[in-house]
Homo-oligomer: A and B are copies of this chain.
Amino acid sequence: MAGIKDIAKKTGLSVATVSRVLNNSALVSKDTKDKVLKAAKKLDYQPNLMAAALRSGKSKIIGVVVPEINNSFFSKIINGIEQKANAHNYTIIIAQSRESKEKETKAIQSLIQSKVDGILISISKETDDFDIIHSLKSNGMPIVFFDRPPPVKNVNEVVFDDYKGAYIATEHLIKQGCKSIIHIAGEPKVSIHRKRKNGFMDALKKNSYSLSESSIIYLSMNESEDTKTIQKLYKSQNSFDGIFAHGDESCLYLLNILKTIAVDVPKNVKMIGFGNKKFSRLTQPKLSTIDQRCLEMGEIATSRVLELLKPKNEISVKTKILSPKLVIRKSSFD
């Protein structure tokens, strides 16, 4: 493992020239270039990125902060980020906030100290003050938010249209002939859950479907209890033939309950989830769902931060809203 100095010694050139070759600084003769490259390979040259970053002021690293890596939604997005970043010769450093404001702040600080050139971040649920965001902005740190932007003006963000996703899912059930559709709702404190619920309700209204109290169900996640609830509802006059679940997880959960009480999916009831999780293809029937285009979200956010990194940039600010993709499988189609 050699450095620039070793190559200089070996070739009899100066470190400056060697550095120029290694950075394609064009002002070198083909002869010396070849000589240097050959020596580099022979000596197993490994550039010291830290030294280069220190000197140049550019680390070629992008920092990524997500709530949780063990979450396929975020890890898919990270894949998009990594691909795009690598394609532009950038490396990424991933940090987790674990939905804690304190850890989030620490993570950001740590990225700053690691001299990342830019930051991509999805804000933790717990975070309620945004001082650090403001300080990042005023320090001129290139920063792009994805999926969960902060309530701060004039920021770059890439978000997913949860409302529309829910709307589309619901309309899909309507088109499949469902006459009475219920929504398995998520924890209302979470904003995306509220958006999905609203999308569901508006789709019903728009299509002149009636919306009763029993149209929105909050499950207890206690099996026998939920089974009773669903069975009772199914046999009541408020029965349903369509289900839009706020997530694939609850869709799976419900599918199992329906099987238990001998309701056939999709014959008797059609259902659709949200998230396009891996396991949604392993059920029988396979689950229809809404795909959030995670990979694209990561790619777009990265492209944006890469733009901000270019010296020429005018300080424009953009919000990109990703539209949902309907994934039709067996659970909503026959």
Give A residues with C-beta under 8 Å from B: 1, 46-51, 53-54, 59, 69-72, 75-76, 78-79, 82, 91, 93-94, 96, 109-110, 112-115, 139, 223, 227, 249, 252-253, 256-257, 259-260, 277-279, 282-284, 286
- Among B46, B82, B93, B279, the residue within 8 A (CB) of A113 is B46
Contact: A49 with B252, CB < 8 Å?
no
Q: Which residues of B contact A82 (CB under 8 A)?
A: 96
Q: Which residues of B contact A71 (CB under 8 A)?
A: 75
Nearest CB of chain B from residue A177's CB, rounded to whole Å: 23
Report the separation of the CA atoms of residues A212 and B78 in the bound assembly, to the nearest whole angstrom: 46
Q: Which residues of B contact A76 (CB under 8 A)?
A: 70
Nearest CB of chain B from residue A237's CB, rounded to whole Å: 26
Since A50-B50, A249-B279 are in contact, a sample of 9 more A-B pairs with Cβ atoms closer than 8 Å, ordered by chain A residue number, is: A1-B112, A46-B112, A48-B113, A48-B115, A49-B113, A49-B115, A69-B79, A94-B94, A256-B283
- Among B75, B96, B256, B284, the residue within 8 A (CB) of A284 is B256
Copies of this chain in its oligomeric complex: 2
Q: Which residues of B contact A110 (CB under 8 A)?
A: 91
Contact residues of A: prevailing secondary structure = helix
Q: Which residues of B contact A278 (CB under 8 A)?
A: 249
Contact: B79 with A70, CB < 8 Å?
yes
Q: Which residues of B contact A47 (CB under 8 A)?
A: 113
Q: Which residues of B contact A96 (CB under 8 A)?
A: 79, 82
Specify the chain B residue showing the minimal Cβ separation from A330.
B223
Q: Which residues of B contact A223 (CB under 8 A)?
A: 284, 286
Contact: A59 with B70, CB < 8 Å?
no
- Among B53, B259, B279, B283, the residue within 8 A (CB) of A50 is B53
Report the separation of the CA atoms of residues A111 and B55 in the bound assembly, to the nearest whole angstrom: 19
Contact: B50 with A114, CB < 8 Å?
yes
Report the separation of the CA atoms of residues A309 and B37 in the bound assembly, to the nearest whole angstrom: 33
Report the separation of the CA atoms of residues A259 and B252 in the bound assembly, to the nearest whole angstrom: 14
Q: Which residues of B contact A75 (CB under 8 A)?
A: 69-71, 75
Contact: A54 with B46, CB < 8 Å?
no
30 inter-chain pairs at a CB distance below 8 angstroms, sorted by A residue, are: A1-B112, A1-B139, A46-B109, A46-B112, A46-B113, A47-B113, A48-B113, A48-B115, A49-B114, A50-B54, A50-B115, A51-B54, A69-B69, A69-B75, A69-B78, A70-B72, A70-B75, A70-B78, A70-B79, A79-B96, A91-B110, A91-B114, A227-B284, A249-B282, A252-B279, A253-B283, A256-B259, A256-B282, A256-B283, A277-B279
